[in-house]
Chain A
Amino acid sequence: MKDYNIVITGVGGQGVLTASQILGWAALRAGYKVRVGEVHGMSQRFGSVIAYVRFGEDVYGAMVPEGKADVIMAFEPVEALRYINYLKEGGLVIANSKPIPPVQVSMGLAKYPSMEEIRNIIENEFKAKLIAFDAEELAIKAGHAITTNTVLIGALTQTPEFPLSAEHVKEVIRLSVPPKAVEVNMKAFDLGVQAARELLGL
């Protein structure tokens, strides 16, 4: 495989970096050459965050070029939209639909767009597909809101042409989380898989 490119976005503190590391390990264990791009520091303080996971022969740098991401996994709807320029035409966006309004919105200095507005730009302007669902609700159903990123990773594995198997990724999560958190994470993963399959009509 030449290259597979994932962009992960969200709000600092949501677990974007953890998700990127898990996917990086999963790709490494599947034998691929891997690059994970992260930004540490300032932006982790509740700012907008982006991380990149890439694997395959033609992968050298840690950043996914604009217009080249196969899939975007977003922890928050506006953060899906903010980085849509990274997605290739015909790519897929998997997004948590639960918004986190920035302080500027509460202060009345900015407006938070509706899901329809977001969908419109992603699907009509950028010719991509968006599947959005409340991943946090599913995480709470699995046992803890903190597993929202596991729900989303579960959903991600259902992306058409995703090079890693769901079972393989699930196993890496099982090995990565503390023993007492394994069960909730496994549940969260399955709920994410289910949600994506329904939305993708699989």
Chain B
Amino acid sequence: MAKVRDIVLMDKPGERVLLLGNEAIARGALEANIAVYAAYPGTPSSELTDTMAMVAQKAGVYMEYSTNEKVAFETALAAAWSGLRAMTAMKHVGLNVAADTFLSAVGMGVEGGFVIMVADDPSMWSSQNEQDTRVYAKFANVPVFEPISPHEAKEMTKYAFELSEKFKHFVLLRTTTRSSHARGDVVLGELPEEIKQGKRKFGEFKKDPSRFVDVPANARRFHPQILEKIEKIREELAECPFNWIEGKEDAKVGIIAPGLAYAYVKEALAWLGVNDVKVLKLGTPFPVPYKLLEKFLEGLERVLIVEELEPVVEEQVKTWVFDKGLTIEIKGKELVPRVYEMTTRRAVTAIAQFLGLETPVDFAKIDEKYEKVKTIAPPRPPSLCPACPHRNSFYAIRKAAGSKAIFPSDIGCYTLGVLPPLKTVDTTVAMGASIGIAHGLSVASGEKQIIVATIGDSTFYHTGLPALANAIYNRSNVLIVVLDNFVTAMTGDQPNPSTGETPHGPGKRIPIEEIAKAMGADFVAVVDPYDIKKTYETIKEALKVKGVSVVVSRQICALHRIGQMRRRGEKWPLYTVNEEKCTGCKICINAYGCPAIYWSEEKKKAQVDPIMCWGCGGCAQVCPFGAFEPIKEGEQ
């Protein structure tokens, strides 16, 4: 198993390798001779950005971790204006953040190819909402591609750059969790000379205010131009290699399978043993190429559209059929759920129902049997890591502010503070929202309610900054605790302005306390959450101040630290329970809740799992009886 970096840079056209969907897209971008890449991480898009970070310098690509999706979008866009091939990537909600620029700039078009990769998360495995980026494609009149496999994702990336350049238009590459996080066999293509030599490419921005300044007089020209472009692209896509018709030519029944749904349809047909249908595989759910659709519909009496989430293809197909005055029975969302992700089970069930067949296994029976499992398998939600500094911060905040205080929080690992026993997260909405919500709650309560907001470092730079300015300017009365663990932990340990480092060397560190001071916060302090008492006392003090208080709770992410120590072969202290001192009061479990601590029913004592303990010593500070003791070196 070679390293991802080496595979993605491998100069062996024709070689078959195993790559994650996101890694395959990175390879596709290199094969397309990308020059500039800028993105802010977000599951399930992050591995694309992380792979670009690994290969960029060697391949002569400018790559950055931007501070949010909007600036990432603008960075890549300006490079594309300058004639370079450029790409940005984000999770679905990232496009909401970048939407202002996206929808305003789309009429200006580009010179170099510009590909916007957006990763959706149907079923919300790691997300705060379920949204369908293909709706944005329609909204902005931008073509959207959706791959069925890592190999196709790579090929589509290349094609997307070419299409973008040909029509001077934006192109969306939409994945989902199941295509971004699927590993599959990929055949490597040629790498361009410049990538092989690692030569940075530079562009030139040619001034044209009539195009790049969107005053109304110019913008009025853009809208009709966009509509004209998208119809030309619709024509072009009838010939695109990712759209095709397969199956029985003179079939009476057809199935339309957009994006990854094609994979489930193929499996469902094989599982059902059905082979007398015609299938339209659509790699471009918007715009649906009408020429190809017309050919597909020839001779069909009934059509089923197996589509995940919103009826984007369904509406286009139905509109076209209606306009042509055809009488074909078309079923879609009646048989295919509009919520959550597509599965083979869903495809099998819909197709079986549509064709009047039995499913190959009795899913209802499986569900029935599974009811028993549900009653006896204890839930195992994710939790903060052992030694996570956020746990200590929440513990101290709750103790200092009391349970009557309201705790608006934000998006990051610390969102897990919602779970028992910490329960110090009362609201989360979208990145950066903690501060605005805290301010609004304070206003609503007449500044009487104690409000303690928590926000991570990465989230603070992302969208916390303008919210803090607003709170200070409007003389709010809130405490904001910035949980500064130096990295963007939730999405896989990416650097940000608190880290100071970039993947390619030193960046510039921006200390959060200096920002708070410069903005005029009424109280600013920095604490180490590994010192729980001091953290508690500082929060108490901050709560006495009327106005906006900012406490930066700073300690390196435990997962990051342990990873580094493991690589260096270093050891960390391990804690154990002195059973003579443990009274079985369970404070460590019922108030602190470190996953390394568990309860022994036999002994009626707390125990530490030595494999899970990462040695922060928080338990020793929390236990009123001093029962947690470090194991002596050598006895570990």
A residues in contact (CB < 8 Å) with B: 2, 11-12, 20-22, 24-25, 28, 33-48, 58-63, 65-68, 78-79, 81-82, 84-85, 88, 100-113, 117-118, 121, 125-126, 145, 172, 175-176
| Residue from the list A21, A40, A62, A63 in contact with B126, Cβ < 8 A | A40
- The 6 residue pairs across chains A and B that have the minimum distance between CB atoms: A41-B126, A47-B382, A62-B182, A60-B263, A36-B183, A110-B378
Question: How far is the CB of B436 from the nearest CB of chain A, in Å?
Answer: 24
Interface bits B244-278 vs A (CB < 8 Å: 1, else 0): 00000000000000001011101100110000000
Q: Which residue of B lies closest to A81 (CB)?
A: B377
* Most B-side CB within 10 Å, residue of A25, A81, A103, A118: A103
Contacts of B185 in A (CB 8 A): 28, 33-34
Judged by a CB distance under 8 angstroms, whether B370 is at the interface is yes
| Residue from the list B181, B376, B384 in contact with A37, Cβ < 8 A | B181
Contact status B382-A34, CB under 8 Å: no
Contact status A60-B379, CB under 8 Å: no
Contact status B183-A117, CB under 8 Å: no
Judged by a CB distance under 8 angstroms, whether B138 is at the interface is no
Given A35-B182, A172-B1, residue A67 in contact with residue B593 (CB < 8 A) = no
Q: How far, in angstroms, from A10 to B263 measured CA to CA in the complex?
A: 26
Interface bits B335-359 vs A (CB < 8 Å: 1, else 0): 0000000011100100000000000
Q: What are 25 residue pairs bridging A and B, where the CB atoms are less than 8 Å apart in the complex? A: A22-B1, A28-B17, A34-B184, A35-B183, A36-B184, A37-B181, A39-B125, A41-B126, A42-B490, A44-B382, A58-B266, A65-B267, A65-B343, A78-B380, A82-B380, A85-B367, A101-B598, A101-B599, A104-B378, A105-B378, A106-B589, A107-B589, A111-B376, A113-B376, A117-B376
Given A85-B370, A121-B372, residue A42 in contact with residue B382 (CB < 8 A) = yes
Contacts of B16 in A (CB 8 A): 28
Contact status A48-B380, CB under 8 Å: yes
Given A78-B377, A121-B372, A121-B376, residue A66 in contact with residue B366 (CB < 8 A) = yes
Size category, B interface: 35 or more
| Residue from the list B264, B378, B416 in contact with A102, Cβ < 8 A | B378
Question: How far is the CB of B414 from the nearest CB of chain A, in Å?
Answer: 11
Contact status A58-B125, CB under 8 Å: no
Contact status B380-A41, CB under 8 Å: no
Q: How far, in angstroms, from A35 to B378 measured CA to CA in the complex?
A: 30
| Residue from the list A2, A28, A103, A145 in contact with B593, Cβ < 8 A | A103
Contacts of A172 in B (CB 8 A): 1
Q: How far, in angstroms, from A63 to B260 measured CA to CA in the complex?
A: 12
Q: Is the interface of B mostly helix, strand, loop or mixed?
A: mixed
Q: Which residue of B lies closest to A80 (CB)?
A: B377
Contact status A46-B595, CB under 8 Å: yes
Contacts of B126 in A (CB 8 A): 39-43
Contact status A66-B384, CB under 8 Å: no
Contact status A103-B182, CB under 8 Å: no
Given A40-B492, A41-B43, A172-B1, residue A63 in contact with residue B181 (CB < 8 A) = no
Contact status B384-A81, CB under 8 Å: no
Contact status A107-B590, CB under 8 Å: yes
Interface bits B360-402 vs A (CB < 8 Å: 1, else 0): 0101001101101100111111111100000000000000000
A-B contact count (CB 8 A): 196
Contact status B1-A60, CB under 8 Å: no
Contacts of A25 in B (CB 8 A): 1, 18
Contact status B343-A63, CB under 8 Å: yes
Q: How far, in angstroms, from A43 to B492 measured CA to CA in the complex?
A: 12
Interface bits B488-521 vs A (CB < 8 Å: 1, else 0): 0011100000000000000000000000000000
Contacts of A102 in B (CB 8 A): 378-381
Contacts of B271 in A (CB 8 A): 65, 68
Please provide the chain B residues from 1 to 59 with a CB less than 8 Å away from any CB of chain A in the complex. 1, 16-18, 20, 43-44, 46-47
Contact status A46-B343, CB under 8 Å: no
Question: How far is the CB of B383 from the nearest CB of chain A, in Å?
Answer: 5
Judged by a CB distance under 8 angstroms, whether B574 is at the interface is no
Contacts of B373 in A (CB 8 A): 81-82, 84-85, 121
Q: How far, in angstroms, from A2 to B491 measured CA to CA in the complex?
A: 36
Q: How far, in angstroms, from A118 to B375 measured CA to CA in the complex?
A: 12
Judged by a CB distance under 8 angstroms, whether B178 is at the interface is yes
Contact status B263-A61, CB under 8 Å: yes
Interface bits B575-594 vs A (CB < 8 Å: 1, else 0): 00000000000100110010
* Most B-side CB within 10 Å, residue of A20, A40, A102: A40
Contacts of B623 in A (CB 8 A): none
Judged by a CB distance under 8 angstroms, whether B624 is at the interface is no
| Residue from the list B43, B377, B589 in contact with A42, Cβ < 8 A | B43
Contacts of B376 in A (CB 8 A): 81, 111, 113, 117-118, 121
Judged by a CB distance under 8 angstroms, whether B479 is at the interface is no
Judged by a CB distance under 8 angstroms, whether B177 is at the interface is yes
Contacts of A47 in B (CB 8 A): 380-383
Judged by a CB distance under 8 angstroms, whether B611 is at the interface is yes
* Most A-side CB within 10 Å, residue of B376, B383, B420, B597: B376
Contact status B595-A62, CB under 8 Å: no
Contact status B369-A126, CB under 8 Å: yes
Q: How far, in angstroms, from A113 to B378 measured CA to CA in the complex?
A: 8
Q: How far, in angstroms, from A100 to B598 measured CA to CA in the complex?
A: 9
Contacts of B264 in A (CB 8 A): 60-61
Contacts of A20 in B (CB 8 A): 183
Question: How far is the CB of B593 from the nearest CB of chain A, in Å?
Answer: 6
Judged by a CB distance under 8 angstroms, whether B148 is at the interface is yes
Contacts of B179 in A (CB 8 A): 62
